[in-house]
Amino acid sequence: MASNSRARKGGSRYFVIYTAIIIIVAVGLFVINQQSGKNEGNKSFESAPSTVAQPVMGEAEAKVSIVEFGDYKCPSCKTWGETVWPLLKAEYVDSGLATFSYINTLFHGEESRIGALASEAVLKLYPDQFWDFHKALFDAQPTGHDGAWLTEELVLETAKALVPELDEAQLKETMAAEEASSLVNLDTTLVNQFNVRFTPTIMINDVQIENPFDLESIRAAIAQELE
Ligand code: CA
């Protein structure tokens, strides 16, 4: 009787220990899975966004296309451009492994539209200065963006600082022309096609990255496309 009860006690003690071990292993596997399964929230589409009529930086033959859906009025886009983008540029674009394109996403009303039209007009008139203008426009974004700042005057000033021989009237006309509007509309078509819900949204070929600030997830997606 006594020895039976001791055996039962011993058995239940082992049961507790085994259960504890199983729980510890399960939790460990879950943590490892959370850390290594970085692509789980990424979404695959049938194709990469078309970069026809878009600004493209880098080697045209690169296997990977990095596309940012961005908005000059968006504070996170400014932050992304200052933190994640320089690393991606150095690792993949400057080395010829990837191209980079920017697609206008108009999530902040009229100011987004002014920035987008300016970006399309500068791309058409001064393509060599496009990326400098793109960066300068984000640099001009004040911290705490609630007030209006993205005005036609500001984009003209910003462009003029980069292109001393700039023809202001021509830039204004190009921004107001139907061609600029249809280019912005083309961007909006892509925004809808790829179901873009927030800016910046980053795509690596046909893969939409869940968290644009998760550098490791972006690197993993690029590595997969380079294989
Ligand atoms: Ca565009």
DSSP readout, 19-78? HHHHHHHHHHHHHHHHHH-TTTT-EE-SSPPP-TTS-EES-TT-SEEEEEEE-TT-HHHH
Distances (CA, A) of 99 to 57, 61, 91, 138: 5, 8, 11, 20
| Alpha helices (runs of H) in 57-203, residue ranges in sequence order | 75-88, 109-125, 130-139, 152-162, 168-176, 178-193
Distance of CA 131 to the CA centre of its chain: 16
Spacing, Cα 120 to ligand 1 middle (Å) = 6
Strands 43-44 and 207-208: what pairing? antiparallel
The CA–CA distances, whole Å, from 171 to 107, 121, 127 equal 24, 6, 13
pLDDT single digits (tens) 19-38:
776 666 665 555 544 444 45
**pLDDT < 50 positions in the chain:** 1-3, 32-37
**Ligand 1 centroid to residue 116 C-alpha, Å:** 8
Ligand 1 centroid – CA 19 distance (Å) = 58
Element (H, E) at 16: helix 2-36
Q: How far is the CA of 50 from the centre of ligand 1 (A)?
A: 10
CA of 23 to the centre of ligand 1 (A): 52
Instruction: Find the 181 Cα to ligand 1 centroid distance in Å.
Output: 10
State the chain's mean pLDDT as an integer. Answer: 90
- Cα 102 to ligand 1 centroid, rounded to whole Å: 7
pLDDT of residue 147: 85
Asked if residues 187 and 176 have their Cβ atoms less than 8 Å apart, the reply is: no
Ligand 1 center to 188 CA (angstroms)? 9
Pairing of strands 98-104, 64-70: parallel
CA-wise closest residue to 202 among 188, 186, 213 = 213
Q: How far is the CA of 39 from the centre of ligand 1 (A)?
A: 27
Residue 134 CA, ligand 1 centroid: distance in Å:
12
pLDDT for 160: 97
CA distance readout (Å), 118 to 79, 91, 105: 21, 29, 13
d(CA 150, CA 155): 7
CA–centroid distance, 206 to ligand 1, in Å, is 18
3 state SS for 55-70 = CEECCCCCCEEEEEEE
For 129, which DSSP code? G
Q: What is the 44 CA–ligand 1 centroid distance (Å)?
A: 22
Residue pointed to by tokens 């910003």: 158
Distance 37 CA to ligand 1 centre (A): 33
pLDDT, tens digit, for every residue of 91-138?
A: 999 999 999 999 999 999 999 999 999 999 999 999 999 999 999 999
How much distance in Å is there from the Cα of 225 to the middle of ligand 1? 24
